[in-house]
Structure 1
């Protein structure tokens, strides 16, 4: 008799546990999902709001006036560190368009919030090939269309200074892979979304191509770890 009572009590406790446990589990799961959605939305809202800040806000965080001094001091050391993904490694200047911007390795949303970003699949300045740098039309490259053929683009990098002369300006489809195409020359490609005042997914890209006229080859620079 006592055994039956104990079995009955255990069964009752299991039913109670289920009745209480399932709602609690659902409640906790719901809170977790809502929290994840909340933080995801906050992160996205932060990203969108940063896109519409004046680029001067991001640039003000970097002392660009001292960039040349930093380059000179770095170049004076025995060895230099090769730029790594995500790092800020220099300053881009296009005087004719009033552009002065930090340059980062990589062109994902994180880098493009704070300046111009180099496509990681492209060569670094000083190497033979196509160096591809992009930026938002509502920030760093909002005046890129003011630059003309013959104007200079200057890159003050952690390992040296590179000067390019604009040789071509054109508008290409957003599906045109030639923007990223390799080259047998040392060229620089700047591109941004087009039209500049378009809201939404832009159909085209504004592409500026420039040829190197001054700069030291990468092969002549003593990077740490290089053989």
Structure 2
């Protein structure tokens, strides 16, 4: 009877392990596939929208409105940024914290993105170094930010997306900054990895159709 019990427990453990492996594979690879397809779609829709004479100025929830370029991640790396940070929005790509500043504005242009799975847009966020360029492309302007700080915080630390990072949520903005947040460490939601950057300058696409020199750095 004991032998039968051990055999049953062993089979149960094997089954549980197989289920866990399937779940991990789904979270890492299958969700990446779905999110990559969604990212391609919202990117294409945004480029098409920009080709019209009068694109909508205010994005709806889940709508792409800008492109994020991080040269440190690769010369051709870009992701469409969607409005909102709910799970549905983050399935499609990096999401803009509703109510935070828009690209190039005074205040904190804040984004969230998955680190592992669902496209993994911020999987390499920890490799960014002070001075690295982060370029945000809008319909008519390139906004160049420079990384100033990277830190790890508790998920409850909402002040990282305040108008002035570290200040009160209803405080006044003291500069034009960009913030990216993601889970930390990889495969965990225990903490948040946060990268801050400061606006270096903006250039009109009419004056630089191929983008600023910062896109060629790193």
TM-score (norm 1): 0.62
> 1:116 corresponds to which residue?
94
Structure 1 position 186 matched with structure 2 position 176: yes
Residue in structure 2 matched with residue 166 of structure 1 by the alignment: 147
**Structure with the larger helix share:** 1
Tell me the matched-pair count: 162
Deviations 1:19-51 (A, max 9, x none): xxxxxxxxxxxxxxxxxxxxxxxxxxxx97997
SS of alignment partner, residue 120 of structure 1: coil
* Residue number among 123, 138, 143 corresponding to 1:157 in the alignment: 138
Task: Measure, in 2, the Cα distance between the counterparts of 1:114 and 1:51.
Answer: 14
Kept in 2: contact 1:103–1:118 (CA 8 A): yes
SS at match of 2:72: helix
SS, match of residue 32 in structure 2? coil
1:224 alignment counterpart: none
User: Which structure is larger by alpha-carbon Rg, 1 or 2?
Assistant: 1
Deviations 1:101-139 (A, max 9, x none): 110111111210010100002011122101110100111
Instruction: Give the structure 1 partner of residue 201 of structure 2.
Output: 214
1:197 aligns with 2:187: yes
Distance 2:199 2:186 in 1: 27
Provide, for residues 114-173 of structure 1, a one-character-per-residue CA deviation record: whole Å limited to 9, x for no partner: 101000020111221011101001111111112211111111123422111101111111
**Alignment counterpart, residue 112 of structure 2, candidates 125, 134, 141:** 134
Gaps of 5+ in 1: 1-46, 218-227
Query: Does the 8 A contact of 1:80 with 1:159 survive in 2?
Result: no
State which drifts further: 85-94 or 165-174.
85-94
1:96 aligns with 2:72: yes
CA root-mean-square deviation: 2.9
Partner of 2:6 in structure 1?
Answer: none
Query: Does the 8 Å contact 2:181/2:195 carry over to 1?
Result: yes
Aligned to 1:84: 59
Which residue pairs with 1:10 in the alignment?
none
